[in-house]
Amino acid sequence: MTSEKPQAGPARRSTTRVVGWCMTAVLGMFAFGFALVPLYEVFCEITGINGKTGGRYEVTEVSEVDVNRTVEVQFLAQNGPDMPWVFKPEVRSIKVHPGESVTINYVAENPTSEPMVGQAVPSLSPSEGTLYFHKTECFCFNQQPLEAGERTEMPLVFIVDRELPEHITKLTLSYTLYDQGKPVTVSAGQSKNTTTNENG
């Protein structure tokens, strides 16, 4: 069975060292795999490449409206898996000037006989425009509870940045509405099951 060599003293010690280094590398790479998750988040936040629009935008100074330029903004709505709500934008598309603050509404209706909670997740295309699309108010910042049969208008206030690259003339904003289950009763302590502001 045993195959230890009598004169294996120094060789064994250095084998332990090699194994130690290798195990460190293995654990390091395992951790790196998970570190890719926040790294990817940060990378996408800086570059906007995954089309995830940012969180609430604070208007610091009233920017001038660039009336010479018109950008078309299209609105899409779709339902996540098994989401029974009626969900659509009030307008399919509007023309805006960069710098102007625009309000549009999405409409949601819960046709079921149960109270439900929905969460909308936005995505912007082309992703190059993501950094130049600011939402000062959005229903997607919060979860939306609806009673059975209830219908609501959900506002979205946005500004297209004046810095939007010249070659982009059309932006498409798509929301996917996901079923977040039944509302948690307020008496249970927390009214929301998860914070979803990061979804912005």
Partner 1 sequence: MSAVADTHAQEHHHGPAKGISRWLLTTNHKDIGTMYLVFSFAMFLLGGTMAMVIRAELFQPGLQIVNPEFFNQMTTMHGLIMVFGAVMPAFVGLANWMLPLMIGAPDMALPRMNNWSFWLLPCAFLILVSTLFMEGGAPNFGWTFYAPLSTTYGPPSTTFFIFAVHIMGISSIMGAINVIATILNLRAPGMTLMKMPLFVWTWLITAFLLIAVMPVLAGVVTMMLMDINFGTSFFDASGGGDPVLFQHVFWFFGHPEVYIMILPAFGAVSHIIPAFSRKPLFGYASMVYAVGAIALLSFVVWAHHMFTVGIPIAGQLFFMYATMLIAVPTGVKVFNWVATMFRGALSFEAPMLFAVAFVILFTIGGFSGLMLAIAPADFQYHDTYFVVAHFHYVLVPGAIFGIFASAYFWLPKWTGHMYDETLAKTHFWLSFVGMNLAFFPMHFLGLAGMPRRIPDYALQFADFNMVSSVGAFMFGATQLLFLLIVVKCVRGGKKASAKPWDGAEGLEWTVPSPAPYHTFATPPEVK
Where do contacts with partner 1 occur on this chain (CB under 8 A)? 1-6, 11, 14-15, 18-19, 22-23, 25-30, 32-34, 36-37, 40, 44, 47, 49-52, 80-81, 119, 121, 127-128, 176, 178-180, 194, 196, 198-199
Residue 96 vs 140, nearer CB to partner 1: 140
Residue 99 vs 178, nearer CB to partner 1: 178
Q: How far is the CB of 106 from partner 1 (least distance, A)?
A: 17
Q: How far is the CB of 141 from partner 1 (least distance, A)?
A: 13
Check whether the bond before 6 is cis (ω within 30° of 0).
no
Residue 27 vs 59, nearer CB to partner 1: 27
